[in-house]
Structure 1
């Protein structure tokens, strides 16, 4: 049986449709660091939390881009990676 475009984009190797998954460690670390950064808004702790949040989201996007279970997840990783890095570059440009 030939796979359709829908199958190639949204199905994993087991034939399951995968759009969302339970959060993995990099997403959990990003969420916790981002929330803590909202509470601790100044000083070296805030800078450290910002670095941790950026690094963990970058890691998640990189893993999705190269090890995503389907083309949708890989595209999602690409969009987040390009968008997040782009936002960081432009936010430093305005300083």
Structure 2
């Protein structure tokens, strides 16, 4: 089977098209801490939750960028990483 650009972009090593996957631990931590930050909108708890949420999202994006199953997932990791950094620069 020829390995086309489409295959490299959207297929994993088993030949399945992969656009989304079950969330891994860093993504689950980001979701939970982001929701908890809405419950605690200010104070030290919010600061800690924000730090944990951003750290876990950074970790998820880094893992996707370097260990993603296909080019699409790696590009997604890069886009989230750039967006996270740009958002932090803009609002800090």
Q: Which secondary structure state, in structure 1, belongs to the residue aligned with residue 91 of structure 2? A: helix
1:58 aligns with 2:58: yes
The Cα of 1:24 is off from its aligned counterpart by 0.5
Provide the C-alpha distance between the structure 1 equivalents of 2:46 and 2:5, rounded to a whole number of angstroms.
44
Shift of 1:31: 0.4
Question: Once the 2 structures are TM-superposed, how far is the Cα of residue 91 of structure 1 from its aligned partner?
Answer: 0.5
Pairwise CA distance, 1:5:
1.4
Deviation at 1:3, TM superposition (A): 1.4
Q: Residues 36-94 of structure 1, C-alpha deviation per residue, up to 9 Å, x if partnerless?
A: 000101110000000000000000000000000000000000000001111011101xx
Q: Secondary structure at the match of 1:48?
A: helix
Match of 1:6 in 2: 6
The runs of 5 or more residues in structure 1 that have no matched partner are none
C-alpha separation in 1, matches of 2:4 and 2:46: 47
1:88 matched to which residue of 2?
88
With structure 2 as the length reference, what TM-score do the two structures score? 0.97
Q: Which runs of 5+ in 2 are unaligned?
A: none
Number of residue-to-residue matches in the alignment: 92
Partner of 2:67: 67
Q: Which runs of 4+ in 1 moved over 2 A?
A: none
RMSD: 0.6
